[in-house]
Structure 1
Amino acid sequence: MADKPTLDDETLAFAERMFDLARQGDAAQLKTMLDAGLPANLRNSKGDSLLMLASYNGHLEAAEALLTHGSDPELANDRCQTPLAGVVFKGDMPMLDLLLAKGADANGCPAGGKPPLMYAAMFNRTDMLERLLQAGADPNATDSEGKTALDLARAMGANDAIAHLEHS
């Protein structure tokens, strides 16, 4: 495994400013920086991409700018979460719709992670459950422990999600 390059304080400070722009949803500044060559898939020390930070914090315009500039909607962080899984966890339907419209995989799941449908089931988000199913999410997909969305909904006592999954 190759050593990671050592970054100087100025470079680190610049990167942190870029992550702050994404967290705060400053779409205009992000667009300017992306147009100037900022890597659209820049990630922080936790593996969170600019898109993960913008989408998780509910910034539609910033997320759209990042996606337009080539951000990968399947790029997972160190906790094996994709941006789509993150917005399902947060319960942000407009962001869910944007990510799906821009190519996020309704079944996207890195090794060791859970597909977005499982988060919707666990947190009883039936509107998101339905939207993900419409987008092709597989209700029979399993996580690394062999559990399905229905198994996780049952474990969490998510009764609306249980009923929805039992009848879909």
Structure 2
Amino acid sequence: MTLGEATAEHTDETARAYGYAQRRSWIFWAWWYGAVLAGTGAVDAVLLAIFGQNPERGVTMVFIGAAVSVLGWLVTLGLRFSRKPPKPATDLLRLEQGIRINPGVVKFLVVAAVLIPVALALFTPNGASPETSPILGFIGASILGLAAGMARSGWLFRNSNEIYRRWLQRQQLPRG
């Protein structure tokens, strides 16, 4: 085996592993968006109730988010249990760049989830009033939900070789 063949084989195997991570990430996000909406709705409903307001808006968001999450889970049912090998990823440089910057973006979002509501509370008229406080909690919770999703996707890509190897073992599919 020449160096070029070994490099091509390694790149091909990496592309397959990234392709599997892309599939798993898509499956995850298909239901996670709804889960974030439901979670932020729950935060909104609780804060509305604490501040003596009608929690109907938050409860409605919980039900809509749960429905979207279930729908996303159902839409991905075929891919979720597929034995079909994933399509190899094509833009490996972009994926590797994303893997490198993902932890920084997640940290930035966690900080933003705190700073944005605090800044809105401090620097807007009636920012910390009981009427607007549930909205601030909603903003912070939604940003944290997205950060958690990005952290999960980043984990999938960082560990794609191991995850793909375990999937191959479970499927007993030949490599190549």
TM-score, length basis structure 2: 0.22
If asked which structure has higher relative contact order (CA below 8 Å, sep 6+), I would say: 2
Bigger fraction of residues in helix: 2
TM-score, length basis structure 1: 0.23
Name which one, 1 or 2, has greater alpha-carbon Rg: 2
